[in-house]
Amino acid sequence: MKTLWIIANWKSNKTISEALDWLNIVGPKLQNSENLSADRQDIKVIVCPPFSDLAELKKEIQVNNYSIFLGSQDISPFGIGAYTGEEPAEILKDLVSYSIIGHSERRENFAETDEMVADKFNKAKETGAEGVVCVQGAETPIPEGCNIIAYEPIFAIGTGTPDTPENAQKVAEQIKSEKPDVNVLYGGSVTDQNCNAFISQKDINGLLIGKASLDAEEFLKIVESCGTV
């Protein structure tokens, strides 16, 4: 069965209690609603909160047996040791199964280079977390062994102006012409209104959602709407 990836990137938003409120609205709906998984597709919902929310969310997901996975929004390119402020894969592995790597906001605000992205990807891999590598187009280098790539054109991120589904499809197709087995997600101003147009494209395997993932009801609308495509 083909997996449809729906990833919420909360960026620097939500206190622990706000995060738990969101989880306890979204979690029960994913658990109880059978129509969320269409026959053709297995929907995998991943939430990437700030680091400080992860431990409480993890406990709540386990206690309630919610069908939600956790991811980090970044990961250290170093291991355990004297790297003040960094979150190493060896510690994150107890909390997350996925890590967003190389988001354009990190490339721009924290001067992340393609080399750093590759180092982070390799670190995540060593401890078993799956890296979701963000690219701006088919020309962005993709680390060897990467299975999930998010095409996120900068003009579309947080602007309310998404790429066209047709262009996103073209980019996804280009990426897959070099790496046929990867999953390509689209991200950038995804809403409940436009999500279906993206995931209906042949080579798009899911969505990376920022702003529209912050409101639990809005996020659920996206998941429900994707489940029916």
The residues annotated as belonging to the active site are 103, 152
Sign of CA dihedral 103, 82, 91, 146: positive
Residue 185 in contact with ligand PGA, rule: CB under 6 A: no
| Smallest distance, ligand PGA to C-beta of residue 92, A | 19
| Smallest distance, ligand PGA to C-beta of residue 158, A | 4
Residue 157 in contact with ligand PGA, rule: CB under 6 A: yes
Q: How many CA atoms lie within 13 A of 46 on its CB side?
A: 29
Q: What region, left, alpha or beta, does residue 157 occupy, with left being phi > 0 and alpha being psi -120 to 50 degrees?
A: beta
Provide the 10 A C-beta neighbour count for residue 4.
Answer: 24
Q: How many CA atoms lie within 13 A of 57 on its CB side?
A: 30
Site string for ligand PGA, 7-46 (x = CB under 6 A): --x-------------------------------------
- Ranked by CB distance to ligand PGA, the top (closest) residue is 210
Residue 187 in contact with ligand PGA, rule: CB under 6 A: yes
Residue 190 in contact with ligand PGA, rule: CB under 6 A: yes
Per CB under 6 A, the list member of 77, 143, 210, 227 interacting with ligand PGA is 210
Those residues with Cβ within 8 angstroms of residue 146's Cβ, 6 or more apart along the chain or in another chain: 121, 131, 133, 179, 182
Residue 208 in contact with ligand PGA, rule: CB under 6 A: yes
Per CB under 6 A, the list member of 131, 188, 206, 227 interacting with ligand PGA is 188
Residue 140 in contact with ligand PGA, rule: CB under 6 A: no
Record the tokens describing residue 188, joined without a space. Answer: 């950038």
